Amino acid sequence: MSTALLWSTQYIATILVGLAVSLRILHKERRVWANNLLTIYSILISAWSLSVFIHRTTPYLEISEFFFRAGAISLFLAQSIYLCMAFSIRSPKKRYLLATLPSFVASILYLGYGEFRFTYTSFGWSYNLAGDLLSQIARGVTNEAYNLAILLTLYLLYRGATNPLLKRKLSILLFTYLIFQFIGFSVTNLLLVLGGDVPPFGGILHIGTFIAMGYALTLKPRLTPPYLPPADFSGRYSRFLNRLLEALPGEALGQRYVLFTQFVKETDIEPYVRYVGDQPIFAESLPPTIVSTIEKTLDYLYEHKLVSLLDSYLPVINAAYTKLSTHEAHKLDEVLLKRVEFLTAGDIFYGIDGGRLMQKIEVDKSLNNVSDTEAALRIYKRILLATFSDFIDVLGSELLNRLLLYDVLKDIDADVDGHISISKCLEKHKQDPPMKIITIFNSFLSSAISQAADTAPRVANVILGKVNRILELNWRRATKLGIITTFRTDFADLISEPLTLPLLNEPVTAETFKASTLILGQPLEENAGQAILLEFTTASHLQMVLRRLAIEALAKGYETAVFTRRGSAVEEKLKPLDVQFIYLTLTRRSETEASKAYISMKDPSEVLAALTELNLSSKSLVILDNLTDFILTIGFDKAYTFLRHLVEIAAETEATILLGLNIEAHSKQEVAALESLANLTVNLETKIKTLER
């Protein structure tokens, strides 16, 4: 192997080392802008290394000159990208890329107007400067300006760092750049320009740079903070700070430590934070500005979309409540209630001060757009959060041991502080059917509440009251998932007070779920895909039956739609319920008055189209309160054809369709024809006495 080729292998090694370091860092945190800039820097250095390798080893002068110029551009740009990377450690703003413009302009000027003299040495092709000094001066000034800017930026970051680990990282980066890039390249370039037959060291200098950078970027925190009692406010805050630090992006280049310092300053806790080893400790039992601090911390978590850290902050909030005066606690209530949407999005609202604030909201819609499995897990997480302190009072640390005995529950991250996180559990069980989650949680809760009832009946009643309240606030998802139905069954022996769903004047009891069996002869679920004729002679009987069936459907999670006249008695009866009304009219509405809730009953095709838009399924209940109106308005023949379509729609979608028919308004032949078409006919007059008992 020739001497030129042997010395030039350092550039191939530079490519391998540089890409290995940068890609490893990028693989861990791809979304961190500084890591992407580090990768771009290593790619540009790799391009320079490959160009220099070809420039030095090729036997042809023209090829050598071309790759020399290409490599020079890559090196100039790499230097400016390094400066952008240093800027991004403090603030990841893409406008810092404008700092590359001077290097690009200088490289064009340097290569476009500069003259070079190439000579072949024992180490391959080399060069020295010749001709116009303007381009040489421009290149030299730009190069030194970038070097000084990089060194100054790293130094200022080092001066401003409070975290010991960040200081170590920055000191290594600072001295690495000073020794290898600033001093090392200045010396080697000077030797080359002077024209001596000297070996190249550029690749070796970059290898040293990347190795030192790799060491700095992979440094981990050392030492562990001393143990702090879980119930202690400073201990809980310290654990939150460490979890926050771990969650912030940019571990490698130290961006997370800069962000953490900014957080400490923004939330006014800087006087109370010190470091033991590399980890932050909150060294104050309760700062006088704690309410303001909690407010600013929640705003910070919201602005930076760190909803997952709310789980870690809940123990801090609860610890604060134990030490605040009544006046300060009231102020904290106001702060939290103003942020109820954010707190319910993270579920911790249910665990604040033992769930006390649950009584101050009417409904929670934060689970509306999540998957069924996630909704089930989060409903039970909310139950655990609200009842955790009560269970701890009765069961102590045994509660945590019990969680480990159940599948799914053993993957919940929980500790005695009241910190409960289902992130890992959700990731592992996101494909599990919701009923599996429900069955396991109900088994756990039934066992735990039963033991609590044996030793502390009052506490058990408090727990059940909180569970009821959580199901009330989340009743729509809870009913759709079947949680309320199974809850009534699994806890039948424990429940003393029935659950009341929002907007219902009557409680949900075992009788609620038997309405369909009493009226239709079988549970509502078994009537899926059927069009059912409800024959009546007394309108109030129909209204009562429809209300009972609608309440059962809502309690079981059905989507319920009612086709009726505006102002009808059925509308008044069902109006308090969460059902969708589609109003049947005799005249078409003008465009300014029209609404999607109004359709013409003179055109059955419009009714059928409205049914199609409802996206019916086996969990859909459709009520057409007065088929008699249809028959008298459009004629029996058209109404009969319309009913045939309804029967087909019910069969295709598996929806349950209820049709009210006043049998006194029709001939026996018409009634018989309609009965033969419907899947099921129920004479309400024979059922009403059973329902009124």
Residue 614 lies in a domain: yes
| DSSP at 286 | S
In this predicted model, what pLDDT tens digit does every residue of 188-209 receive, in sequence order?
A: 877 776 666 778 888 899 999 9
pLDDT bin (cut points 50, 70, 90) of residue 408 is: very high
Among 445, 480, 502, which residue terminates a domain? Answer: 502
Residue 171: give the domain boundaries.
3-217
**What integer is the mean pLDDT of 372-388?**
94
C-alpha span between 599 and 605 (Å, rounded): 10
pLDDT given at position 334: 95
**What integer is the mean pLDDT of 472-494?**
77
Per-residue pLDDT at 373 exceeds 80: yes
Per-residue pLDDT at 691 exceeds 70: no
C-alpha span between 552 and 169 (Å, rounded): 64
User: Which residue in 560, 600, 597 sits closest to 577, CA to CA?
Assistant: 560
Residue 63 burial by Cβ neighbours in a 10 Å radius (0-12, 13-18, 19+): middle
Structure tokens at 681: 């006919």
Per-residue pLDDT at 107 exceeds 60: yes
C-alpha span between 682 and 616 (Å, rounded): 23
| DSSP at 634 | H
Per-residue pLDDT at 558 exceeds 50: yes
Specify which residues 681 forms β-bridges with.
533
Q: Which helix (H) or strand (E) holds 125?
A: strand 124-130
145 shares a domain with 8: yes
Amino acid (1-letter code) at residue 425: C
Q: Rg of the chain over CA atoms, in angstroms?
A: 37
Residue 89 burial by Cβ neighbours in a 10 Å radius (0-12, 13-18, 19+): buried
pLDDT given at position 454: 83
pLDDT given at position 577: 83
Among 318, 351, 384, which residue terminates a domain? Answer: 351
189 shares a domain with 159: yes
331 shares a domain with 250: yes
pLDDT given at position 592: 40
Q: Which helix (H) or strand (E) holds 50?
A: helix 33-57
551 shares a domain with 678: yes
Residue 232 lies in a domain: yes
pLDDT given at position 555: 80
pLDDT given at position 406: 92
**What integer is the mean pLDDT of 380-397?**
91
Q: Give the CATH number of the domain where residue 642 resides.
A: 3.40.50.300
Residue 507 lies in a domain: no
C-alpha span between 245 and 252 (Å, rounded): 13
Residue 580 lies in a domain: yes
Backbone angles phi, psi at 122, to 5 degrees: -70, -10
How many CB atoms are closer than 10 A to CB 681? 17
In this predicted model, what pLDDT tens digit does every residue of 615-627 receive, in sequence order?
A: 899 889 999 998 9
Per-residue pLDDT at 499 exceeds 60: no
pLDDT given at position 193: 67
Q: How many domains does the chain have?
A: 4
Cβ atoms of residues 315 and 239 within 8 Å: yes
| DSSP at 324 | S
C-alpha span between 653 and 649 (Å, rounded): 6
pLDDT given at position 593: 47
146 shares a domain with 31: yes
CA atoms within 13 A on the CB side of 214: 16
340 shares a domain with 303: yes
E strand intervals along 215-373:
273-276, 279-282
pLDDT bin (cut points 50, 70, 90) of residue 687 is: confident
Cβ atoms of residues 18 and 82 within 8 Å: no
Residue 630 lies in a domain: yes
126 shares a domain with 38: yes
Residue 357 lies in a domain: no
C-alpha span between 504 and 551 (Å, rounded): 8
E strand intervals along 323-381:
none
pLDDT bin (cut points 50, 70, 90) of residue 594 is: very low
CA 96 from centroid of its chain's CA atoms: 29
pLDDT given at position 225: 55
461 shares a domain with 554: no
Residue 203 lies in a domain: yes
In this predicted model, what pLDDT tens digit does every residue of 440-469 receive, in sequence order?
A: 998 898 888 888 888 888 888 888 889 888
530 shares a domain with 449: no
Contacts of 102 (CB under 8 A, 6+ apart): 80, 142, 145, 146
pLDDT given at position 277: 81
pLDDT bin (cut points 50, 70, 90) of residue 591 is: very low
Among 462, 481, 502, which residue terminates a domain? Answer: 502
649 shares a domain with 549: yes
Structure tokens at 650: 């019910």
C-alpha span between 97 and 391 (Å, rounded): 55
Rounded (10°) angle between helices 33-57 and 202-217: 160
Residue 612 lies in a domain: yes
User: Which residue in 498, 472, 466 sits closest to 362, CA to CA?
Assistant: 472
pLDDT bin (cut points 50, 70, 90) of residue 588 is: low
Give the range among 77-91, 243-257, 378-392, 447-461 with minimum mean pLDDT: 447-461
**What integer is the mean pLDDT of 245-260?**
89
C-alpha span between 344 and 302 (Å, rounded): 12
Give the range among 257-266, 452-461, 641-650 with minimum mean pLDDT: 452-461
13 shares a domain with 48: yes
Give the range among 78-87, 309-318, 425-434, 585-594 with minimum mean pLDDT: 585-594
pTM of the full structure: 0.74
484 shares a domain with 392: yes
DSSP secondary structure, 213-249, as one string: HHHHHT----S-PPP--TTSHHHHHHHHHHHHHHHSS
Range ranked top by mean pLDDT from 151-155, 514-518, 552-556:
151-155
Structure tokens at 10: 């350092």
User: Which residue in 627, 638, 633, 641 sits closest to 671, CA to CA?
Assistant: 627
Contacts of 10 (CB under 8 A, 6+ apart): 200, 201, 202, 203, 204, 207
Per-residue pLDDT at 109 exceeds 80: no
**What integer is the mean pLDDT of 59-63?**
87
Structure tokens at 513: 């779920």
Contacts of 633 (CB under 8 A, 6+ apart): 586, 601, 602
Mean of the per-residue pLDDT values of the chain: 86
Cβ atoms of residues 488 and 445 within 8 Å: no
Per-residue pLDDT at 493 exceeds 70: no
